[in-house]
C-alpha cells in the first residue's frame, strides 16, 4: 500500500462560514473525514502547516511547504498539498523550482466550494489528488476538475466554475475518471540524484502590467523598491516608445542592476520580441526573455534566480533555461 502525506494550508476547501464570510477552519483530519469510504490502496497521514486564505500566501510560506516535503521525503511515497485556488499556481511553480531532483509526486489541489458544503467539488478533487499521488509520477502537479496539470503551467481562469484551471502552452498531463488515469503526456524522469532543497528566494520582485497612458516615472519607484520586475507587455512583447516612452526608464533599471523580464499579457503562445519594432527596441537592451512561460511561473522563478545570484547574466541564464517543463525553447 502506498503511504501518502497530506499537507494542509487552508483555502476554500477547508473553509466554513464565519461572521465575515468564508474562512479556513477545518483541520486536515477533518478534511480526510469528509472523504467517501472507498476501498483504499493507500495509507494517508496528515500534517497541518497553516490555515490561511491563499490570498494571504507569501513566499516565506512556500519555503515552509517545501521544507515539510523535504523533511518527510524518505517516509512517504507521495505528497498531497491542499491549498486555496487564488495563488495555487504561484505555489506549485515555486515548489517546482525549490524541490530539485524530485523523484516522487507532489500534488496540489483545492476546491471552489468548501468540502463541508452539500454540493462541493472538494471531495472529488482531493480523492483525485490522492489517487494520482499513488501513481508515483515524479514532479509537481495541480489536479483540479479532473485535469492534471504540470506545476509550472497552471493558470486559474475562472472564479466559480469547477474547471477553474487550465494548462497554458503545454499539454495536460492526464484526465482523471475515478481511479482511471488517462495520460496525455508524461514528463521525462529526473536524472539520478538525491532530492535537493533550494529555497534561496528573493521576494523583491514586482509584476507590472502595461496599459495605454502609463507614466515612465513608475520605473523610478520600482527601481527603489525591488530587485527585479516582470513586465507584462502588449501582444508579442511590445513596449511603448512614442508619446510616453518607457524605454529610457527601462534602460535605467537595467543599468542600475535591476533584473527586467518581458512577457506578454496574452495567455497563449508567449512573447516574441523580435517580431515587431515595438518589441525589437526593448530587446536591444539586456532584458530577460520569458518565451511561453506564464506569469505565475515567471514571478517565483525570478525570485528563485535572484536568490541564487546577484550576477544579472547568471540570472538571465537561469530564467531562460527550461526547468520543470516551464519553458518551450522553440519559437
Kindly report, residue by residue over 17-73, the tens digit of the pLDDT.
888 899 999 999 999 999 887 667 899 999 999 999 999 999 999 999 999 999 999
Which top CATH class is 205-319? Answer: alpha beta
Coil, helix or strand for 76? Answer: coil
Is pLDDT of 283 > 80? no
Give pLDDT, residue 280: 57
197-207 pLDDT per residue, tens: 999 999 999 99
Least confident range from 245-249, 264-268, 317-321: namely 264-268
H helix intervals, 192-310: 218-225, 247-255, 277-283, 295-308
Is pLDDT of 181 > 80? yes
| HSE of 56, CA atoms in CB hemisphere, 13 A | 10
| HSE of 105, CA atoms in CB hemisphere, 13 A | 30
pLDDT band, residue 154 (cuts 50/70/90): very high
Mean predicted confidence (pLDDT) in 141-150: 97
79-113 pLDDT per residue, tens: 999 999 999 999 999 999 999 999 999 999 999 99
2-197: CATH, from 3.20.19.10, 3.40.640.10, 3.40.50.1170, 3.30.56.10: 3.40.50.1170
The Cβ of residue 44 has, within 10 Å, a number of other Cβ atoms equal to 20
CA 199 to chain centre: 15
> In the structure grid, which three cell numbers stand for residue 71, read together?
523533511
Collect all residues with Cβ–Cβ distance below 8 Å to 69 and sequence separation of at least 6.
7, 79, 95, 99, 106
Is pLDDT of 329 > 70? no
pLDDT averaged over every residue in the chain: 91
Phi and psi (nearest 5°) for 9? -125, 0
Collect all residues with Cβ–Cβ distance below 8 Å to 190 and sequence separation of at least 6.
101, 102, 103, 138
Coil, helix or strand for 284? Answer: coil
- Catalytic site includes residue 12: yes
Question: Rounded to whole angstroms, how far apart are CA atoms 70 and 196?
Answer: 8
CA dihedral 80, 84, 90, 91 (to 10 degrees): -30
Give pLDDT, residue 119: 92
Question: Rounded to whole angstroms, how far apart are CA atoms 175 and 149?
Answer: 9
Is pLDDT of 115 > 90? yes
Is pLDDT of 279 > 60? no
Q: Which of 9, 12, 109, 120 is catalytic?
A: 12
Give pLDDT, residue 276: 45
Give pLDDT, residue 179: 82
Coil, helix or strand for 41? Answer: coil
The residue ranking higher by pLDDT, 118 or 110, is 110
pLDDT band, residue 331 (cuts 50/70/90): very low
Query: What are the sequence ranges of the domains in the chain?
Result: 2-197, 205-319
- Helix (H) or strand (E) segment spanning residue 155: strand 154-156
Question: Rounded to whole angstroms, how far apart are CA atoms 283 and 183?
Answer: 39
Sign of CA dihedral 212, 215, 218, 219: positive
Q: Are 95 and 323 in contact (CB under 8 A)?
A: no
Percent of the chain whose predicted confidence (pLDDT) is above 70: 93
Percent of the chain whose predicted confidence (pLDDT) is above 90: 76
Amino acid at each position: 500500500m502506498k503511504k501518502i502525506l497530506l499537507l494542509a494550508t487552508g483555502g476554500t476547501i477547508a473553509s466554513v462560514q464565519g461572521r465575515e464570510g468564508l474562512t479556513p477552519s477545518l483541520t486536515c483530519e477533518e478534511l480526510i473525514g469528509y472523504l467517501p469510504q472507498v476501498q483504499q490502496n493507500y495509507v494517508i497521514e496528515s500534517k497541518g502547516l497553516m490555515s490561511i486564505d491563499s490570498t494571504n500566501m507569501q513566499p516565506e510560506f512556500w519555503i515552509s511547504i517545501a521544507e515539510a516535503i523535504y523533511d518527510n521525503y524518505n517516509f512517504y511515497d507521495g505528497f498531497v498539498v491542499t491549498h486555496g485556488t487564488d495563488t495555487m499556481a504561484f505555489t506549485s511553480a515555486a515548489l517546482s523550482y525549490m524541490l530539485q531532483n524530485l523523484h516522487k509526486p507532489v500534488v496540489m489541489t483545492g476546491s471552489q466550494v468548501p468540502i463541508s458544503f452539500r454540493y462541493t467539488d472538494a471531495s472529488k478533487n482531493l480523492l483525485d489528488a490522492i489517487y494520482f499521488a499513488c501513481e508515483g509520477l515524479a514532479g509537481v502537479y495541480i489536479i483540479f476538475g479532473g485535469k492534471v496539470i504540470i506545476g509550472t503551467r497552471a493558470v486559474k481562469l475562472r472564479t466559480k466554475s469547477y474547471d477553474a484551471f487550465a494548462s497554458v502552452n503545454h499539454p495536460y498531463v492526464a484526465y482523471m475518471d475515478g481511479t482511471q488515469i488517462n495520460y496525455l503526456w508524461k514528463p521525462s524522469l529526473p536524472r539520478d540524484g538525491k532530492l535537493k532543497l533550494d529555497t534561496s528566494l528573493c521576494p523583491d520582485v514586482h509584476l507590472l502590467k502595461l496599459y495605454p497612458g502609463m507614466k515612465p516615472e513608475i520605473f523610478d519607484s520600482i527601481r527603489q523598491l525591488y530587485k527585479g520586475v516582470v513586465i507584462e507587455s502588449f501582444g508579442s512583447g511590445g513596449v511603448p516608445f512614442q508619446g510616453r516612452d518607457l524605454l529610457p526608464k527601462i534602460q535605467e533599471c537595467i543599468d542600475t542592476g535591476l533584473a527586467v523580464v518581458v512577457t506578454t499579457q496574452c495567455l497563449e503562445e508567449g512573447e516574441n520580441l523580435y517580431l515587431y519594432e515595438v518589441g525589437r527596441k526593448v530587446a536591444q537592451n539586456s532584458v530577460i526573455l520569458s518565451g511561453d512561460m506564464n506569469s505565475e511561473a515567471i514571478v517565483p522563478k525570478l525570485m528563485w534566480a535572484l536568490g541564487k545570484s546577484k550576477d544579472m547574466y547568471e540570472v538571465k541564464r537561469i530564467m531562460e533555461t527550461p526547468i520543470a517543463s516551464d519553458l518551450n525553447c522553440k519559437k
